[in-house]
């Protein structure tokens, strides 16, 4: 059989033009995992290495072979929020801040734009299994942009219900995140609730990861708090048997409003990524790490052997619930302007198709990279 194929291939080459024989097409991905460090810009990733290891370039992702710089701006401003930033990566279409996977015709909170088809929807359409894991509320802008379409990121009741009313396939298969109290309130306002939704779709909405039985192939967990590492490894266990492959999106918050918390999240995320890397086959699985937008943290002092966050404890002690958010954090070696910032973020990748993550590009390019890794065509193309 194989011999026959090889003979046929060499015959067709011989009939064609041997001198112009095409190189073998690049290997395709079966699976894609997107790791999204929310607000994890270049300077925060760099500082995370210094916090975690006392040295630069110690993070696993900093050893991946392909690196590009991804422009995150929305269509009309210089600085992105998570809604536009993640929508652009997931749909290949830049939009406006506050808008979840709709075209820029959307007016936030007022008028819908066209729904822009997400990578997760393409994956569902192609018969793959899909999963979304986040350290944040499962309806927050970043995870929402994978499975929902809304003119306002604040509409959590509407967004959550869309997970159970998919436009393609049977919708997102694994959904692990937090936000149980606030989502529950918004669902109540909309005249429904977790129990009604679970009953209507014959799909329990568990309050803790541990409550979801291993036999459940499409588990939904909306918790008060979640162990992002455990949730991600669990999602991988559920998805990895998928005959046609899977898409897994993992978000871990990396805002550095509290610099130690935010940077430690990046260190922990990176350790998780290293762990995931040992559980997948990089011959058929594309891994991408990026951020939805950057954040105003800078390392502007310090020396080897000195704690990066010297002065953190004293700063932390001054933080009372009434402290002004807009106050700049001034530690000895680190300054944080507690705001999203407009410069490009790093996109790092390994696995089939990752070689196209090079140079400066708009974040919409990452959508194309992931689509092309599977060999899929966009609708209308």
Closest to Zn ion by CB, 82 or 151 = 82
Closest to Zn ion by CB, 38 or 121 = 38
Closest to Zn ion by CB, 82 or 242 = 82
- The angle, 0 to 180 degrees and rounded to 10, between the axes of the packed helices 259-279 and 228-239 is 20
Gap between the terminal Cα atoms of the chain:
35
The sign one gets for the Cα dihedral 175, 176, 178, 181 is positive
C-alpha 323, offset from chain centre? 30
- Contact status: 38 vs Zn ion (CB under 5 A): yes
Q: Give min distance, CB of 202 to Zn ion, in A.
A: 33
- Contact status: 101 vs Zn ion (CB under 5 A): no
Spatial contact of 132 and 143, defined as CB atoms under 8 Å apart: yes
Residue 351 neighbours by CB under 8 Å, 6+ apart: 29, 282, 283, 284, 285, 286, 287, 373
- Contact status: 344 vs Zn ion (CB under 5 A): no
Q: Give min distance, CB of 215 to Zn ion, in A.
A: 35
Stretch that binds Zn ion, among 78-86, 185-193, 201-209, 273-281 (CB under 5 A): 78-86
Q: How many CB atoms sit inside 10 A of residue 118's CB?
A: 30
Closest to Zn ion by CB, 326 or 379 = 326
Stretch that binds Zn ion, among 17-25, 30-38, 43-51, 124-132 (CB under 5 A): 30-38
- Contact status: 173 vs Zn ion (CB under 5 A): no
Residue 257 neighbours by CB under 8 Å, 6+ apart: 325, 336, 338
Query: If we measure between CA atoms, which residue out of 346, 342, 347, 341 comes closest to residue 370?
Result: 347
Closest to Zn ion by CB, 29 or 89 = 89
Q: How many CB atoms sit inside 10 A of residue 23's CB?
A: 5
Q: Give min distance, CB of 85 to Zn ion, in A.
A: 6
Q: How many CB atoms sit inside 10 A of residue 8's CB?
A: 10
- Contact status: 292 vs Zn ion (CB under 5 A): yes
Stretch that binds Zn ion, among 7-15, 196-204, 221-229, 284-292 (CB under 5 A): 284-292
Stretch that binds Zn ion, among 80-88, 116-124, 143-151, 261-269 (CB under 5 A): 80-88
SS (H, E, C) 78-143: CCCCHHHHHHHHHHCCCCCCCCECECCCCECCCECCCECCCHHHHHHHCCCEEEEEEEEECCCHHH
- Contact status: 161 vs Zn ion (CB under 5 A): no
Closest to Zn ion by CB, 270 or 292 = 292
Stretch that binds Zn ion, among 22-30, 37-45, 55-63, 107-115 (CB under 5 A): 37-45
Q: Tell me the number of residues near Zn ion by CB under 5 A.
A: 3
Closest to Zn ion by CB, 292 or 344 = 292
- Contact status: 82 vs Zn ion (CB under 5 A): yes
Closest to Zn ion by CB, 84 or 232 = 84
Spatial contact of 345 and 290, defined as CB atoms under 8 Å apart: yes
- List interacting residues with Zn ion (CB under 5 A): 38, 82, 292
């Amino acid at each position: 059989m194989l011999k026959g194929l090889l003979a046929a291939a060499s015959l067709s080459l011989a009939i064609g033009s041997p001198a112009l024989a095409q190189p073998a097409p690049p290997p395709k991905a079966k699976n894609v995992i997107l790791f999204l460090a929310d607000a994890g810009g270049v300077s925060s990733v760099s500082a995370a290495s210094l916090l975690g290891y006392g040295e630069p370039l110690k993070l696993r992702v900093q050893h991946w072979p392909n690196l590009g710089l991804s422009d995150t701006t929305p269509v009309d401003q210089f600085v992105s929020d998570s809604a536009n930033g993640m929508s652009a990566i997931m749909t290949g279409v830049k939009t406006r801040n506050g808008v979840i996977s709709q075209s820029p015709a959307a007016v936030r909170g007022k008028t819908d734009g066209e729904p822009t088809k997400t990578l997760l929807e393409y994956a569902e359409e192609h018969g793959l299994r899909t999963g979304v894991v986040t350290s944040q509320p499962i309806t927050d802008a970043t995870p929402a942009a994978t499975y929902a379409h809304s003119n306002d990121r604040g509409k959590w009741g509407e967004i959550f219900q869309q997970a159970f009313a998919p436009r393609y396939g049977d919708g997102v298969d694994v959904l692990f995140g937090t936000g149980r109290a606030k989502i529950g309130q918004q669902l109540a306002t909309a005249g429904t609730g977790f129990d009604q939704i679970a009953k209507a779709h014959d799909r329990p909405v568990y309050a803790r990861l541990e409550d979801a039985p291993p036999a459940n192939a499409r588990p939904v967990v909306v918790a008060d708090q979640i162990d992002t590492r455990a949730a991600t490894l669990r999602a991988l266990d559920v998805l990895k048997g998928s005959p046609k492959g899977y898409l897994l999106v993992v978000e871990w918050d990396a805002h550095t409003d509290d610099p130690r918390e935010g940077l430690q999240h990046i260190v922990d995320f990176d350790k998780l990524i290293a762990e995931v890397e040992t559980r997948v086959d990089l011959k058929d699985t594309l891994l991408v790490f990026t951020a939805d937008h950057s954040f105003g943290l800078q390392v502007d002092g310090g020396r080897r052997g000195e704690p990066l966050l010297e002065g953190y404890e004293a700063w932390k002690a001054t933080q009372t619930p009434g402290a002004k958010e807009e106050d700049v954090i001034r530690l000895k070696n680190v300054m944080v302007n507690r705001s999203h910032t407009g410069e490009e973020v790093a996109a790092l990748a390994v696995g089939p198709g990752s070689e196209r993550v090079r140079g400066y590009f708009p974040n919409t390019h990452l959508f194309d990279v992931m689509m092309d890794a599977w060999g899929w065509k966009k609708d209308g193309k």
